[in-house]
Structure 1
Amino acid sequence: MTLTELYAARVAEGCLTADPAQEAALVPLEKIRTKLAAPVKKGFLGFGTQPAEGPMGVYLWGGVGRGKSMLMDLFHEASPVPSRRVHFHAFMQEAHEAMHEARAAETRDALEPFARSVIAQTRVLCFDEMQITDITDAMIVGRLFEKLFAAGVHVVTTSNRVPDDLYENGLNRALFVPFINMVKERMIVHELVAARDYRQDRLGDEQTYFIGGGALDEVWERLTDGVSEGLTLRVKGRDLRLEDFRSGVARASFADLCGKPLGAADYLALARAVRVLILTNVPKLSRAHGNEARRFVTLIDALYEARVRLIMSAEAEPEDLSPGDVFEFERTASRLREMQAADWGAGQE
């Protein structure tokens, strides 16, 4: 069954709504699926390898909520060869850990063992939400893709950015430009131009701020179908772990994010990695919660600047969460009110 046929079947079942932009994006994805389904030669490791000629994957980019992850999942489901679907941040975390072990073993090329393990296990990698924000990642990803492509491993990735905008204004970005050129030369770059934000539609005009709890479990189920991949963010040599995460939607408690010694760098990394945050159990903040309150203010500032959609449960209304004269909380309360608007985050990348 082709991807177009599978998509049509899901529409007929009522699982999807037909969208011309999504149907157009199926064309390059089907081109790669067909290529992978062709007979292959055996590589030196004994695994099937696909010739490195022709496009080595699809770079699918576009606005938030347009269905990029859904289409990639459809491709992953229909892949005729071993395929792995993973969030880009999580994959890069694996790369860092493997390279750390290789350096400890005094391996000459710390990236080589990790690349070989990936090549041995899969013939197509499906990356969700590629974004490069760290100079170390920028240096690793170029070399890694070269090794994967040379070994016949194909890549399908989603991103909110056109390739030329990856790692924009980053440190030593000129060193990253060859990777951008490789993406444009070796992959099919396709913009998903759907006008409708399906993720926003799932929320619609529904309540996003709940006093004393609310139906946050139901919101999580609706936005993620109850499936969690988890996400680990590497921040200044430390790991920030989100157990509940899928396709840009994360769920965490106040204690998880503000009750631990996290800082602005952690919250900025979180804001870059997620598009919707479900934040639970925010208490009233008194003088006894000085550190927690300051972290909460910093978290909300990071989410606000990144225009992350916030769904939150708390013990009180925003204005009553903390005395303004204690934590200068007035701005935070105002931002929490603004972030409750139905169209908040709709215009983000």
Structure 2
Amino acid sequence: MKKYYIFKRLLHATTTKFNNNLLTPLKLYNLRVEQGKLKDDKYQRKIISSLSTLHEKLSHYTPPEIETPTIDSLKPKIGISKIFNSFFGNNGEQSKVNEEELLTVDNEVKGVYLYGDVGCGKTMLMDLFYKTVPPNLAKSRLHFHQFMQNLHKRSHTLKIQYGGDVDVIPILASEIAQSSTVLCFDEFQVTDVADAMLLRRLMTLLLSPNYGVILFATSNRAPDDLYLNGIQRVSFIPCIKLIKKQTRVIYLNSPTDYRKVPKPISSVYYHPKPGVKWNSKINQANCKKHVEQWYDYFNQTNKNQEILQNFTLEVWGRKLKVPKCSPNKVAQFTFHELCGVPMAAGDYLTLASHFQSFIITDIPYLSLDVRDQVRRFITFLDAVYDSHDRLAVTAVTNFQDLFVEPEDLKKDNYKLYKHQDKTGVENTFEDDELVLKHGFDKKIAKKAAMFADDEEKFAFARALSRLSQMSTTEWIENVKDE
């Protein structure tokens, strides 16, 4: 059916029914340890035994046949106001009964919900499992933010196609279940009320025996901490209970922070040496040389193709301009072109899915006065990191020192006033939650204090941590497949 393939394409994920059926998660882990690609970690090894158990059950699992519901069956037989309520999981007594029935029946195979701090190896373990999913099952692996973007887009398309009074969630559930029996989510988190209510109804269907989807999710939060303090959170509690019921919840408490394991540092991030002014001839010449060298390196298998100017991609029916690129290989933006104009997560996800590498030039000092630009940059970095794309930049200083107080910043954003000695007792951030709970550096926690919201603080700190990882030779040399 046409709409099924549309949604499948929108997932931007590796979805396949074929894989190496000889490998189990444990065998693949042992192989990579022998090859020196992974460090043997006893905490991770314990979890791999659980993954192997799930792998064995999936080898004998036959998912149910999923039929797409008819449009007539989804049209309202009640008033419009109640249809609105149905979207938020309150579609009268019948809906409550149906939901309760689905929550009381177990899937024959339980998925995995793996949570722990940043840097403990959750994503690596999920990727290990994903590569060994038995070949008889269709699978998808997505960053959760990307999944929700695609979900909202498909929902919008269906409502335009069939009318706003049609309950599209059963259609969405059937399309997902038809394309993916095993659904892997990285960075599972819920912060938006619309996401929370949509997700509640969708997951109730997907994880029921009628749809038979097996969930593998990684998260920085335990299930009971999802959507904490969110609007209408009480309506999301059934989704949390369902996740706990239909997955094995595992806490990865490895004492090793793999972000801090020493790795060779490449020269992808250029900034002038102390005392060299940004606008000086020598610095501008160095920037130009740095950009040209990395563009050539990122584009080395594509050099015969013409470099395009003002190339366009389509996002949600509108045009997204790429100032300079070699399609599928490398795209180049100034910081202002990337973050100084209104762009959303969908734009950055589209870029990350279309290119392997990015060059971002002219990154200035950043402060609270340009918070929107900082947020966009973080969103872009998340998209690039999750797609395992590569990044080279020219910036006014290193990323650790890029974020400054507004009063320290001169007008052109590439100069600072001389710092005056500050009096009084300064916060050392030794007791900050980012340091104690998540293991971030105190300097990162200090920079993150510019944000008032805990989720933004965490996202900012994680971005700085990921930038460090993305600068390693290991990251640069292991380019993602096209």
TM-score, with structure 2 as normaliser: 0.51
SS in 1 for 2:230: coil
Identity percentage of aligned residues: 29
Residue 203 of structure 2: aligned partner: 145
Matching residue of 1:170: 230
Q: Give the equivalent residue in structure 2 for 1:155.
A: 215
* 1:197-227, Cα deviation, whole Å (9 max, x unpaired): 223436677778522247878999xxxxxxx
Distance 1:116 1:298, change over 3 A: closer
Match of residue 30, structure 1, among 49, 52, 69:
52
Residue type of the alignment partner of 2:394: A
Shift of 1:125: 0.4
Amino acid in the other structure paired with 1:72: M
CA deviation digits over 1:172-211, x for unaligned, max 9?
A: 2111111111111221110111122223436677778522
Any residues of structure 2 matched to 1:95-110 within 5 Å, and which?
95-104=151-160, 105-106=162-163, 108-110=166-168
Which one scores higher on RCO, CA 8 angstroms, separation ≥ 6? 1
1:68-217 correspondence to structure 2 within 5 Å: 68-80=122-134, 81-104=137-160, 105-106=162-163, 108-150=166-208, 151-201=211-261, 210-211=270-271, 212=287, 213=290
Cα distance change of structure 1 residues 39 and 66 upon mapping to structure 2, 3 Å threshold: closer
Partner of 2:83: none
- CA offset at residue 27 of structure 1? 2.3
Per-residue deviation, 1:137: 0.7
Secondary structure of residue in 2 paired with 1:158: strand
Point out where structure 2 has 5 or more consecutive residues left out of the alignment.
1-22, 69-104, 272-286, 299-313, 323-331, 349-357, 386-390, 420-442, 447-459, 466-482
Structure-2 change in CA distance of 1:201 and 1:148 (3 Å):
same
1:258 is the counterpart of 2:339: yes
Instruction: Work out whether residues 253 and 280 of structure 1, in 8 Å CA contact, stay in contact via their aligned partners in 2.
Output: yes
**Residue 37 of structure 2 aligns with which residue?**
15
| d(CA) in 1 for partners of 2:220, 2:261 | 18
Other-structure match for 1:59: 113
Q: 2:360 aligns with which of 280, 299, 318?
A: 280
* Higher share in strand: 1
What's the secondary structure of 1:18's corresponding residue? coil
> Which residue number in structure 1 is paired with residue 411 of structure 2?
326
- Matched residues in 2 for 1:209 and 1:218: separation? 16
Distance, in Å, in 1 between the alignment partners of 2:243 and 2:415 is 46
Q: Is residue 380 of structure 2 the alignment partner of residue 299 of structure 1? A: no
Q: Output one character per residue of 1:51-110: Cα deviation in whole Å (capped at 9) or x when no partner.
A: 943453100111112211111111111101211111111111121111112222126211
Distance 1:297 1:4, change over 3 A: same
CA distance 1:97–1:68, change in 2 (3 Å): same
Cα RMSD after superposing both structures: 4.8
Q: Secondary structure at the match of 1:169?
A: coil
Q: Post-superposition shift, 1:256?
A: 4.1
CA distance in structure 2 between the partners assigned to 1:333 and 1:109 by the alignment = 60
> Residue in 2 aligned with 1:245?
none
Taking a change above 3 Å as real, the CA distance of residues 256 and 132 of structure 1, as seen in their structure-2 partners, is: farther
Letter in 2 for 1:65: G
For 2:418 and 2:186, locate their aligned partners in 1 and report how far apart those are by CA, in whole Å: 33
> How far apart, CA to CA, are the structure 2 residues paired with 1:239 and 1:29?
42
Name the CA distance, whole Å, in 2 between partners of 1:333 and 1:64: 35
- How far apart in 1 are the matches of 2:126 and 2:64? 27
Change (3 A) 1:332 1:254: farther
Give the superposition deviation at 1:314.
Answer: 3.2
Residue 160 of structure 1, CA deviation: 1.0
Sort the Cα spacing of 1:313 and 1:174 in 2 relative to 1 into closer, same or farther, 3 A: same
Q: Go from structure 1 to structure 2 and tell me whether the alpha carbon gap of 1:320 and 1:119 turns closer, same or farther (over 3 Å shift).
A: closer
Name the SS for the 1:99 alignment partner.
helix
Q: 1:41/1:87 Cα in 2 relative to 1: closer, same or farther (>3 Å)?
A: closer
Instruction: Give the aligned residue type for 2:151.
Output: A
| TM-score in terms of structure 1 length | 0.68
1:254 partner amino acid: F
Paired with 2:64 and 2:110, the residues of 1 have a C-alpha distance of 18
Equivalence for 2:94: none
| Greater radius of gyration (CA) | 2
| SS of 1:198 mapped into structure 2 | coil
CA distance in 2, matches of 1:166, 1:233: 29
Q: Do 1:258 and 1:296's aligned partners in 2 also have CA atoms closer than 8 Å?
A: no
